Amino acid sequence: MAAWTGAARQVVNLARLSYSKTPSTAQAASLIHRRGLAGGGGHHGPPKVNFWQDPLSPSKWKEEHFVIVSLTGWGLLFYGGYKFFTKGKNGKKEEVNMVLYHVS
């Protein structure tokens, strides 16, 4: 008899859990996935282009292309400045040993 009572309680508990998991219509509407700001439509302004298609107009470039070109330019500027200002400041001087052979 206790086995039947335990089984009946489990069935009632499962029925309660499955019933409580079923959302009402108001909850179901809130569970509908909305894309939010992930949509690709509705652009404002002219379309963005790759930087090699219009190299003289950075305002038309795609954002990631602008970042890559800008960081590359700054890197080259710093590296060029470093090489320019440290040129000839090496403490080592190279000595050239010349060996002359006289053939007679």
Q: Tens digits of per-residue pLDDT, 1-55?
A: 666 677 777 766 666 655 554 556 656 566 676 666 555 555 677 889 998 899 8
Inside any domain, residue 23: no
Inside any domain, residue 80: yes
Three-state SS at 8: helix
Inside any domain, residue 20: no
Written as one letter, the residue type at 92 is K
Inside any domain, residue 60: yes
Q: How many domains does one find in the chain?
A: 1
pLDDT at 67: 94
Range of the domain at 63: 47-87
**CA atoms of 2 and 21, how far apart (whole Å):** 29
Task: Indicate whether this model's pTM tops 0.75.
Answer: no
Buried b (16+ CB within 10 A) or exposed e, 47-58: ebeebeeeeeee
Inside any domain, residue 1: no
